[in-house]
Structure 1
Amino acid sequence: MEATTIAKPAIRPKYAGTGNPAFFETLRVRVNQYFQDRGLPRRGGKEARIKTATLLILYAGAYLLLLSNWFTPAGTLAVALVFGAVNILMVFNIAHDAAHNALFDNPRLNRLFSYTFNLLGANAYLWNLTHNQIHHTYPNIGDYDTDIQQQAPLIRVSPTVPRKWFHRFQAYYAPLLYLTYSLFLVFLKDYQDIGLLPKKDSKLLENRKHAFREYLALFLSKGIYYSITIVIPFLLIDVTWQQFLAGFLIVHLFMSFLLSVVLIPVHMVDEAPFGTVSEAGVIEENWTLHVLKNTTDYSRNSRLANLFFGGLNTHLVHHLFPGVCHIHYIALSEILKETAEEFGLEYREVSMWEAVRSHFRLLGRMGGSNG
């Protein structure tokens, strides 16, 4: 009888390049000095607490209004759109920072509020695995970064995804796929990440085992989310099932638009060189410089962008200092820009519109014969 071979998870690649270690050390010292000189906490402090409380109140208020039957169907849809927008704002401003232990000084509070992801249809445990551990370590590394191949093979932005004939049209059909992104997140992604459905966007998720309690937590939290967003509204809101279905899809189109326009341009742009792993499991580059080359900031000085996007538009500071709350990103990005220029390194900063345009240039190039 032949012995059964049990597949093992892929070995994590290692960065081997020396790069310019003095750059990050200098930047780290200056960032630390910024907080020390001003007596500020690296985490959120009072401002983040107020923001968190405000968003939670808006979430509860919008949801109660949605169920109130005080409005016409059109008015109910408007309230549902507000509720959907608040969901996205909570992802950007609460769940994301809490998952990075950056929202509150108390780690237990951060852990508690990281479960806001579960309330919003995602999963805190899987987010920590795919985002904190994998994406932050290997941004734009094909076959490893969990973000850049989520919609493969339909969308090709990574050189490691085989080119298909239909990719030449992806710049035209990609927006339609992006408008389904929130549906993908709440109905498919977590089941793929935990291994219940096929998934091929990261070798580091293959053959990975998870504790039974994580499967239980996934099903329980998904059930709660589906009850909050589908079952209870369907039973209580006085609309036809056709109106309910149409409204549900419209809200998710809107949520997907918000997610896509904020998140996609920070890494997946035409200027980003991406990265590859050798057969020996080595990335021939310094991690800091790789992140610098593969991350784009947009609308960097906009306080409105920082307020609504949770600082995700100043994404490079977030990657280099993930334990710092987003309320500090505007000031820290200025320090980062000055330090990069001092060391002769490119700091990529564009408008939001230009970041989106650059993404579509990437789609066109990766879909063509020269991509």
Structure 2
Amino acid sequence: MRKWQRKEKQLTQRISFPPRGPFFDELKSRVDAYFAASGQHATGNWRLYLKTVFSYGLAIFSYVMLVWGVEQWWTAALAAFGLVQGYVLIAFNVMHDGAHGSYSGKRWLNWIMGASMDVIGGSQMMWRQKHNMLHHTYTNVEGKDDDIAIGSLMRLSPYQPWKPWHRLQHWYAPVLYSFLTLYWMLFSDWQKLLSGKIGDTPLQQRAWWETPYFVLTKFIYVGYTLVVPMLFHPVWMVLVCFVGIHLLFGFILSVVFQLAHTVEGAAFLQPDSNGKMQDEWAIHQVRTTADFAPTSWLATFYMGGLNFQVEHHLFHKVSHIHYPAISRIVRETCAEFNVPYHSFASVGLALKAHFRFLQRMGQPPAIA
């Protein structure tokens, strides 16, 4: 834990937040009291372990059927769709908790579950730095939050430069979203490794084995998703299926993550000339984040609690299976301290808020 905190401090020394105030002190005290009273651990339990078995089981079964069990195009499409859903469940429910250290109280088990990112084509090493350290610290801060850095293709912050083609970004955004996982696998992860930076932020110092491990897991992924299927099916069929799987996988991941921060109501804040942020860290997280579909059991199960994004950003060391319970505490505390708490009643309303936001950001700044 101290090692990760030291590394995080190295990445966050240029921008600082005001000292923690009474809001988060009170909120944390109430959440701690909830776990003490309920006798539960803040990490995962049997429900999370069962979801892990189900998620990996679906992915493995679908992969086996896709490679060795299909004979017609529609059965291949069905198996590919099942594989995508397995990947999504692994990413949202298993990898995400593991990489944040909330899957288990055992550090080694968190690392193994976080390594699910390597299994599905990404990189846990890059994820921990770009997501855990940068995104969770500098949410919606232009120049620091890599999640809103899409170059000039889209404008996801009022502090990003406007281009004429942004007028149409609410139309072409779904196409770009679909390329997310292909972009990670083929370019982004490699670019970060070779440049030694995420945006303008240097990568933390790596252990001697991390770079070979990065390369090895990338080749293993290519091996089981491309090389093995090509031994049993025509190359063009495998490539079409591979790209199709990634387009759907990337689209689902992108949309879910976008609904949490790039929506109407979410704040976009920048530091002053001295590198000081306006709000303390906890209030900044609430102001820049939104929940959606909080009463939907299906959304919570499928998205691994990422529809409770406010709770996740405030308590990323708490497993997502506890978010519905602590969300009541968070809402009540925000109301008491006059901290704006954003929440959309359904996924559909959040989607509308996201695309309205894209349309507004697509207008020239003077008009927007």
Asked if residue 116 in structure 1 is aligned to residue 112 in structure 2, the reply is no
Asked if residue 13 in structure 1 is aligned to residue 9 in structure 2, the reply is no
Aligned residue runs from structure 1 range 316-335, under 5 A: 316-335=310-329
Structure 1: unaligned runs, 5 residues or longer: 1-8
Asked if structure 2 preserves the Cα contact closer than 8 Å seen for 1:10 and 1:203, the reply is no
Asked if structure 1 preserves the Cα contact closer than 8 Å seen for 2:44 and 2:103, the reply is yes
Aligned residue runs from structure 1 range 89-100, under 5 A: 89-100=89-100
- CA distance in structure 2 between the partners assigned to 1:291 and 1:212 by the alignment: 34
Asked if structure 2 preserves the Cα contact closer than 8 Å seen for 1:152 and 1:161, the reply is no
Letter in 1 for 2:177: Y
Aligned residue runs from structure 1 range 61-100, under 5 A: 61-100=61-100
Asked if structure 1 preserves the Cα contact closer than 8 Å seen for 2:23 and 2:337, the reply is yes
- CA distance in structure 1 between the partners assigned to 2:300 and 2:329 by the alignment: 17
What is the aligned partner in structure 2 of residue 193 from structure 1?
A: 192
Q: Could you give the per-residue CA deviations for residues 238-285 of structure 1, whole angstroms, max 9, x where no partner exists?
A: 3x4333332222222211221122111101113222111333222222
Asked if residue 358 in structure 1 is aligned to residue 353 in structure 2, the reply is yes
Query: Which of 339, 347, 357 is equivalent to 2:341?
Result: 347
Aligned residue runs from structure 1 range 55-66, under 5 A: 55-66=55-66
Asked if structure 2 preserves the Cα contact closer than 8 Å seen for 1:272 and 1:294, the reply is yes
Letter in 2 for 1:87: Y
Q: Secondary structure at the match of 1:272?
A: coil
Asked if residue 131 in structure 1 is aligned to residue 131 in structure 2, the reply is yes
Root-mean-square deviation (Å): 2.0
What is the aligned partner in structure 1 of residue 229 from structure 2?
A: 233
Asked if structure 1 preserves the Cα contact closer than 8 Å seen for 2:226 and 2:239, the reply is no
Asked if structure 2 preserves the Cα contact closer than 8 Å seen for 1:45 and 1:105, the reply is no
Q: Structure 2 vs 1, CA of residues 337 and 281 (structure 1 numbering), >3 Å: closer, same or farther? A: same
1:81 deviates by 1.5
More displaced 10-residue stretch of structure 1: 208-217 or 151-160 = 208-217
What is the aligned partner in structure 2 of residue 6 from structure 1?
A: none
- CA distance in structure 2 between the partners assigned to 1:11 and 1:70 by the alignment: 50
Letter in 2 for 1:13: R
Asked if structure 1 preserves the Cα contact closer than 8 Å seen for 2:99 and 2:111, the reply is yes
Letter in 2 for 1:286: E
- CA distance in structure 2 between the partners assigned to 1:95 and 1:187 by the alignment: 20
Letter in 2 for 1:27: L
Asked if structure 2 preserves the Cα contact closer than 8 Å seen for 1:13 and 1:283, the reply is no
What is the aligned partner in structure 2 of residue 254 from structure 1?
A: 248
Q: So what's the TM-score if we normalise by structure 1?
A: 0.90
Letter in 1 for 2:171: Y
Asked if structure 1 preserves the Cα contact closer than 8 Å seen for 2:177 and 2:255, the reply is no
Asked if residue 183 in structure 1 is aligned to residue 182 in structure 2, the reply is yes
Asked if structure 1 preserves the Cα contact closer than 8 Å seen for 2:266 and 2:342, the reply is no
1:354 deviates by 1.7
Over the matched positions of the two proteins, sequence identity in percent amounts to 32
1:210 deviates by 4.4
- CA distance in structure 2 between the partners assigned to 1:363 and 1:104 by the alignment: 37
What is the aligned partner in structure 1 of residue 29 from structure 2?
A: 29
- CA distance in structure 2 between the partners assigned to 1:171 and 1:185 by the alignment: 22
What is the aligned partner in structure 2 of residue 305 from structure 1?
A: 299
